[in-house]
Structure 1
Amino acid sequence: MARPREFDVDRAVDRAMELFWRRGYAATSLQDLMSELEIGSGSLYGAFGSKDGLYERALERYCSQQAEGLICRLEEATEIRPALASVLTEMAEADLADPGRGCLLVNSATERSDDPATVERVSATLRRVESALAGTLERAQARGELGPDKDPARLARFLTTFIQGLRVMGQARADRAFLEDAVNTALRSLD
């Protein structure tokens, strides 16, 4: 009979997510993971199969948290401009506060672009964000906040791309004035 797990898997995934987020996949060793999670190799392999398996779970958790947070805020928005300005400004502020950390989604897309599971997770998350933005923009257009000449789907694709670029520029240590100007320019796309 197998021994029952003696650690909280969800907590372990959260802690691994933080470690991968700070260091990246390649710079995080199995020893780093076992130390951070306070588990042995048998427990790690038993619960996650491999370092890759744990990374996939951590990335899935991050994507779910980030996408759900963004989607909820967009769906609850009664006005598109203030909601979008708030979301974009918060992203810029997070990067200004801790530029080395960046966005795990962006980090994963660049560091693990040769891993099919990572590419699929990143792509699926970006499709969800784009779809949520498109729906929000369609609702804004129906309320008269967005001109009839605007294409919500194209704007959503642009904004999804802009968000990822904003996160990269934050990691590249762009200053506050640069990021604020970029956000203001992106918001003008709604005019």
Structure 2
Amino acid sequence: MARPKEFDYSKKLNMARELFWEKGYAGTSMNDLVDRLQLNRSSIYSSFGNKHQLFLACLQSYIAMKEKEYVTTASKGKSPLGSVIAIVNDVEHYIIKDTKTCLSTYTTFELGRLDVDVYKVLQKQSEKTVGLFETLLEKAQEIGEVPKDKSPKDLAYYIVSSFAAIWYADILFKDSTVTKKVKEIIVSGIKE
């Protein structure tokens, strides 16, 4: 008979996610995971699978958290365009406040072209986020908040892709004024 798990799965998953976030996938060893989670290898393998499976679980839990945040923020907007802008503003505030790059963005550049499983998770997440923005932008266009000659789907792809530009500006220039300006240009690109 298998012994019951003597730890909080979600807590250990969050601890592993923080470690992957700090060191990246390639920079994180099984020894690092053993040390951080305070679990032996066999417990990690039986509870989470191998390093790759654990990483995918961490990435998926992060994505679920971010998707929930986007939907919550969108629900607070006073109009469809207001919801879009609120999400973009939240991303910018998070970037300036936090010292860590978005795990999805970080992973896209580390593994997006190298790991098919990671690519599929990231691509699914991106399409879902594009869908959220596209729906909001279609509604915004119906009420005249967005010009009729703009494609809501193209704008949605633009917004999602632009999140990486905001991270890039913050990381390289370390100037919140520059980061805010990049965000403002993105928002103006939606409205005009």
Q: TM-score, normalised by structure 1?
A: 0.90
Farther-moved stretch of structure 1 (49-58 vs 68-77):
68-77
Q: 1:111 and 2:110 equivalent? A: yes
Correspondence 1:125 to 2:109: no
1:55 aligns with 55
Which amino acid in 2 is paired with 1:106? T
Identity, % of aligned pairs?
A: 24
Of 170-179 and 61-70, more deviation after overlay is shown by 170-179
Deviations 1:47-75 (A, max 9, x none): 11111111000000011111221133224
Distance in 2 of aligned mates of 1:128 and 1:171? 26
Mean CA deviation greater in 157-166 or 173-182: 173-182
Partner secondary structure for residue 24 of structure 1: helix
Q: Cα offset for 1:2?
A: 1.4
Question: Could you give the per-residue CA deviations for residues 118-150 of structure 1, whole angstroms, max 9, x where no partner exists?
Answer: 111111111011000000011112222222222
- How many residues are matched? 190
Asked if 1 retains the 8 angstrom alpha-carbon contact of 2:81 and 2:137, the reply is no
What residue number does 1:98 align with? 98
Unmatched tracts of structure 1, length 5 or more: none
Deviates more, 1:28-37 or 1:116-125: 28-37
Higher relative contact order (CA 8 A, sep 6+): 1
Structure 2 residue 154 is matched with structure 1 residue 154: yes
Q: Does the Cα contact within 8 Å between 2:169 and 2:178 map onto a contact in 1?
A: no
Higher helix share: 2
Q: TM-score, normalization: structure 2?
A: 0.90
Runs of 4 or more, structure 1, over 4 Å off, are none
Shift of 1:78: 2.7
* Alignment RMSD (CA, Å): 1.8
